[in-house]
Amino acid sequence: MAYHRLKEGDSAHSHAYRPTIAHRARTREQHSGNEETNTVTSIDSTKADHETTLTSVDPATGDVIGSYPIADEQAVHAAVAKARKAAATWGALSFDERRAHLLRWASRLVADSDEFCALIHAENGKPLDDAFLELMLALEHISWAAKQAKKVLSPQKISPGALMSNFAARIEMRPLGVVGVIGPWNYPVYTPNGSIGYALAAGNTVVFKPSEFSTGIGNFLAEAFVKANPELPEGIFVAINGYGATGAALVDSEVDKIAFTGSTATGKKIMAAAAKTLKPVLLECGGKDAVIVAPDADVRAAADAVAWGATSNSGQTCAGVERVYVDRSVREEFIEQLRTILAKVEPGSGADAEYGPMTMPSQVDIVRRHIDSALSNGATAVLGGPESVRAPFIDPVVLLDADENSDAVQEETFGPTVTIRTTDTVDEAIELANKSKYGLSSAVYSRKNGLAIARRLNVGATSVNSVLGFAAIPGLPFGGVGDSGIGRIHGEFGLREFARPHSIAVQRFAIPGMALLSYARTKSTMKLLRRLVPVLHGRHK
Ligand code: NAD
């Protein structure tokens, strides 16, 4: 299979975005620490302790894109202090005022979208159109959060109940204060924005530590907010740069919540660190998402969706398709369709390739190991194989009937590969799909029973007759169960993650003889209550 080789003029340097020249070039290989061999590579937070500068490079070429000072503990605290000061202003604005500022930020990103997408293409490797689609989805979420925050978080009157009828009760949602957001590199705009946009809309300020593999992109996002809103004080949305150690310093800082998106291994470390101060965490972690292709599926549509869901973004999608359970009755047709579609799909570094290089070099070894693991555990490669791995690119690989206990089926691969298992009943497919420590999302292809099958899947989200549909609907919460994480971004649940309810009970008048919460309570009050309680609660047989 031919690759789109990098042509002169294709390199990152040809793009409009040019950050500062690197002081000390470090390659991506040097950055990666493979802490858990079975999961997506985690960055060793101690590895870069002695470094003062982070250099970002184009994953296809190794060309230097930019260089950024690393925020040490002191710099992290300074950023959080600045955000704390700004929180007094931002948190005191009305929902309508915040909405206007957030929508201006979105419009600024639209105005700068050519430059931004060129940077996303250069630093992450994904094709320009994919970069634009990612930006578009992020804009949908900024807009949704900005417009819905008032409805979702406005004060609510609550019925006080018969015994407390002399009270008025209400819930007022307060911003948490400063939210620390730690992001991954695979969807460097869309993914962290599920926390940033919603935290800002709820009235918090944000300190954002982008992934070391998407530092330029993270800074562009934060700078666009400042450019769009020059009249606001500094510190409402700030980016700090660095490796895992900078993220760890943010977790240890005075932020009021950590919203993390990344690998399960790092998520666990963050939760343990946050436990020291009972800091709340939102964890959006890895996945091993399954697609069920039922006997009554539109097989062509299922193959088309699986082809894209498994390989787009080089398979580096938390909710991408990693496993397929296909009914025996449609298996041959499904495999043939999938093979036909994927045989024409090629990775490359050109702006219009179908998908790009692996963004993080150390992930290539994991993908290679999973292909080997499938093949040595009974699988047949129906497309590609070990030879498909030609770093930094990996051709699509389709593996049929691997042992369900192999790493290829149990661990997150995060590459353009997919395993297919033949099943004899829908019940078997559901059971196997649920037999995973992860539970992020899933998809079902069935003309008649899609919803019924979806309801039996132990995951945070399911698309019926589509893949990843839920991720593009801003009102739907996004997040997983088990090793896929804790909490939800997006939608009403996503806004509430960044606010705390403050319950207020106001005594409007005293009821003579009914002073329940006082030593002035009388015997006749208790007599009355003993008659009242059976009426209120004792009538159900
Ligand atoms: P990662 O865990 O290696 O890094 C994520 C972030 O955590 C980076 O910014 C990193 O610098 C930081 N970090 C590393 N060690 C830290 C520590 N000890 N304390 C604080 N921060 C630390 O993950 P990644 O490789 O950037 O991202 C890929 C993973 O993210 C995959 O597992 C993928 O499934 C997952 N992901 C999940 C979602 C979701 O919404 N559930 C979305 C995108 C990606």
DSSP letters along 22-74, please?
A: PSS---HHHH-----TTSSPPP-TTTTTT--EEEEE-TTT--EEEEEEPP-HH
The candidate with the shortest Cα–Cα distance to 145, out of 193, 187, 188, 183, is 193
**Ligand 1 centre distance from Cα of residue 162 (Å):** 49
| Nearest atom within ligand 1 for CA of residue 264 | 32
Residue 323: strand, helix, or coil:
strand
Same domain as 332, residue 260: no
Please report, for the domain that includes residue 102, its CATH number: 3.40.605.10
- Mean pLDDT, consecutive 10-residue segments, the chain of 541 residues? 28 32 33 38 45 92 94 98 98 98 98 98 95 98 98 98 94 98 98 98 98 98 98 98 98 98 98 98 98 98 98 97 98 98 94 90 95 96 97 97 96 98 98 98 98 98 97 96 98 98 96 85 91 94 89
Is 132 inside any structural domain?
A: yes
Residue 495 lies in a domain: no
Return the C-alpha torsion angle 30, 36, 41, 47, nearest 10: -30
User: Within a domain: residue 6?
Assistant: no
Which residue matches tokens 């996503």? 494
- Ligand 1 atom 19 nearest Cα: 248
**Of the residues 218, 250, 284, which one is the last residue of a structural domain?**
284
Is residue 76 located within the same domain as residue 149?
Answer: yes
Do residues 83 and 206 lie in contact, with contact meaning Cβ atoms separated by under 8 Å? yes
Angle at 286 between CA 282 and CA 288, to 5 degrees: 140
Choice among 134, 140, 212, 284 that is catalytic: 284
The stretches of 276-412 forming alpha helices (DSSP H) are 299-311, 328-342, 361-375, 407-410
Residues having CB closer than 6 A to ligand 1 are: 40, 42-43, 45, 182-187, 191, 209, 211-212, 243-244, 247-248, 251, 261-263, 266, 269-270, 284-287, 318, 412, 414, 440, 485
At 305, is the secondary structure helix, strand, or coil? helix
Q: Which atom of ligand 1 is nearest to the CA of 251?
A: 20
Nearest CA to ligand 1 atom 11: 244
pLDDT recorded at residue 182: 98
DSSP code string of 64-102:
EEEEEEPP-HHHHHHHHHHHHHHHHHHHHS-HHHHHHHH
Structural domain contains residue 389: yes
Same-domain pairing of 275 and 335 = no
Same domain, 154 and 277: yes
Is 20 within a domain?
no
Structure tokens belonging to residue 432 = 């196997």
Residue nearest to atom 26 of ligand 1 (CA): 184
Strand bridging mode 321-327 / 289-293: parallel
Q: Does 213 lie in the same domain as 96?
A: yes
Ligand 1 atom with minimal separation from the 484 CA: 41
Secondary structure of residue 420 in the 3-state scheme: strand
**Per-residue confidence (pLDDT) for residue 351, from 0 to 100:** 79
Same domain as 187, residue 274: yes
Ligand 1 centroid vs 2 CA: distance in angstroms? 32
- Of 268, 335, 343, 287, give the one whose Cα is nearest residue 311: 343
Domain range for residue 538?
Answer: 514-541
Q: Kindly report the protein residue whose alpha carbon is nearest to atom 37 of ligand 1.
A: 285
Whether residue 483 is contained in a domain is answered as: no
Same structural domain, 439 and 370:
yes
Residue 365 lies in a domain: yes
Pair 272, 135 in one domain: yes
Q: Is 284 a catalytic residue?
A: yes
Given 236, 251, 284, which residue is the final one in a domain? 284
The pLDDT value recorded for residue 382 is 97
pLDDT score at 512: 81
CA of 263 from ligand 1 middle (Å) equals 4
Q: Are residues 254 and 123 in the same domain?
A: yes
Answer yes or no: do 255 and 327 share one domain.
no
Report the number of distinct structural domains present in the chain. 3
Q: Which residues contact residue 441 at a Cβ distance below 8 angstroms, ignoring those fewer than 6 apart?
A: 287, 289, 319, 459, 460, 461, 462, 463, 468, 470, 471, 480
Q: Are residues 449 and 520 in the same domain?
A: no
Say if residue 136 is in the same domain as residue 238.
yes
pLDDT reported for residue 515: 84
Cα–Cα distance for residue pair 5/15, rounded to 1 Å: 17
Which two tokens mark 56?
A: 């970002």
Ligand 1 atom with the smallest distance to the CA of 269 is 18
Q: How far is the CA of 184 from the centre of ligand 1 (A)?
A: 5
pLDDT of residue 150: 98
Give Cβ neighbours of residue 358 (< 8 Å, ≥ 6 apart): 59, 125, 314, 316, 364, 367, 391, 392, 393, 394, 415
The pick from 31, 186, 212 for probing ligand 1's pocket by mutation, whose C-beta has the most ligand atoms within 8 angstroms, reads 186
Q: Whose CA is nearest to atom 3 of ligand 1?
A: 42
Taking a C-beta distance cutoff of 8 angstroms, is the pair 84, 178 a contact?
Answer: yes
Q: Ligand 1 centroid vs 320 CA: distance in angstroms? A: 16
CA of 341 to the centre of ligand 1 (A): 31
* Residue finishing a domain among 473, 491, 523: 473
Question: By the 8 A CB rule, do 328 and 423 touch?
Answer: yes
Question: Is residue 272 a part of any domain in this protein?
Answer: yes
